[in-house]
Structure 1
Amino acid sequence: MAKEKIVLITGASSGIGEATAKTLVNNGHKVILTARREEQLNQLVAELGSDNALAVAADATDFTALENVVTKGIEKFGRLDVAFANAGMGVSTAGTEKGDPDEWSTMIDINIKALLWSAKLTLPHLRKTTGHFILTSSAAGRKPIGGSIYGATKWFAYGFGQNLAQEMSEWNGRCTTIAPGMVNTPFFDEAKPDKLDPQDVADAVLFAIEANQRNSVREIYLMPTN
């Protein structure tokens, strides 16, 4: 069994974040969970056990609120080994000409700014543990998609992850960018059999953090088989 990791997860109340929390705890790790929906977070902690999980509700786009999450998590567990910046959203109307600027602004706050805040706030603690930063980009951040503002925010996430991996390598820290295709989560309106499952992404996170310290898994690109 790999050494127990203390892992902070943003966007933890459903979908990929929830699946990852369960997978990590089931494999002997402990989690600090944050999202805006406090009730769902508390239910998840009740399921995982308060020895293994802490919930601190916060809006990841609020720097001060996210700082409180990191502080509370370290107060409980004493250190931070991994940060998983997973919070994200899409838009209801695609395209540049037809898109909604207010919706873009909200999406940029969560897909870009919250990612930056997560890195800024956790890196000093990850440096102490020679830790690991993981982020959710997207297959949409690896290829052009006509008029996709969402895709452009995930291009940012993808590029940031590559740059951060180099920055963290200066002190032997590891950074993994996870780029999944469509995942069957509340993010999308209807379930389809040709989507990935949140568990697929959770398994990728587990693989990356449990890899031998000499092995920095820089990127995991997941697509539905069919």
Structure 2
Amino acid sequence: MARTLFITGASSGIGAATARKAVAEGWNVGLFARSEDKLSALVDELGEAAMALPGDATDLAQQQKAVASLAEAYGGVDAAFANAGAGSSGGGTEGADPAEWEKMVQLNVMGLLWTAKATMSHLRESKGHLLLTGSAAGRTHISGSVYSATKWFVHGYGGNLAEEMREFGGRCTIIAPGMVDTPFFDEAKPDKLKPEDIADAVLYALTADPRACVREVFVMPNG
């Protein structure tokens, strides 16, 4: 029986690449993002194994509704990938835009918390797997970077989740990429990682033997 994966930030980049990889490996996928037109196009590409779930990751009720719809459609939720995130234009502490900070923290921190909250009862039932998009920036200090600090949160909370989920046989994995050539950046990064590289890391963690919890996967550009 096919397993089911809920993905936030699924309309492009890492989320879309993971959806394609998961469907190719026999999974059903629930695609959650604000861009309804992009989700519809991806569902047209992937077929009956994919379900478009338009919504805002910073809204807990919208995530809960989406996860419930996905569970009803496919008979449960076996894994979730809290992938939605945003960066900032920098500026350090004095020069940064406070409104930009607030928007970023709402998505990178609260949005991730809402994914965990919305999916946890389903993952408890399935002894499932929660994956979080961290970052190499979440394991180093970058001058004045609030983005880096939000990813430090992801790594810290992800470890706490892994301890919580092991109590019922579940697993939690942080996927921590270096720079990836995605729409996250204003300019293309052709010499860096591709979204497919990160999708491979997600599937590696998901398909590990149930006795093993792969807690962190770092994927860095080579060269």
Partner AA of 2:36 in structure 1: E
Partner AA of 2:161 in structure 1: L
Aligned counterpart for 2:6 among listed residues 5, 8, 15: 8
Aligned counterpart for 1:149 among listed residues 141, 146, 151: 146
**How many residue pairs were aligned?**
223
CA contact (8 A) 1:179 1:222 kept: yes
Q: SS of the residue aligned with 2:93?
A: coil
- Partners of 1:44 and 1:147 lie apart in 2 by 37
Q: SS of the residue aligned with 1:203?
A: helix
Structure 1: gaps of 5 or more residues: none
Aligned-residue CA RMSD (Å): 0.9
Does residue 78 of structure 1 match 2:75?
yes
2:217: which partner in 1? 220
1:31: which partner in 2? 29
- Partners of 2:184 and 2:44 lie apart in 1 by 24
Report deviation, 1:172. 1.2
1:97-146 deviation digits (Å, cap 9, x = unpaired): 11010000000000000000000110100000100000001000011111
Which residues in structure 2 correspond to 1:52-201 (within 5 Å)? Answer: 52-201=49-198
- Partners of 1:194 and 1:163 lie apart in 2 by 34
TM-score when normalising by structure 2? 0.98
1:40: which partner in 2? 38
Report deviation, 1:95. 1.1
Structure 1 residue runs of 4 or more that deviate by more than 6 Å after TM superposition? none
CA contact (8 A) 1:9 1:34 kept: yes
Report deviation, 1:28. 0.9
- Partners of 1:207 and 1:5 lie apart in 2 by 15
CA contact (8 A) 2:90 2:145 kept: no
Q: Which has the higher helix share?
A: 2
Structure 2: gaps of 5 or more residues: none
TM-score when normalising by structure 1? 0.97
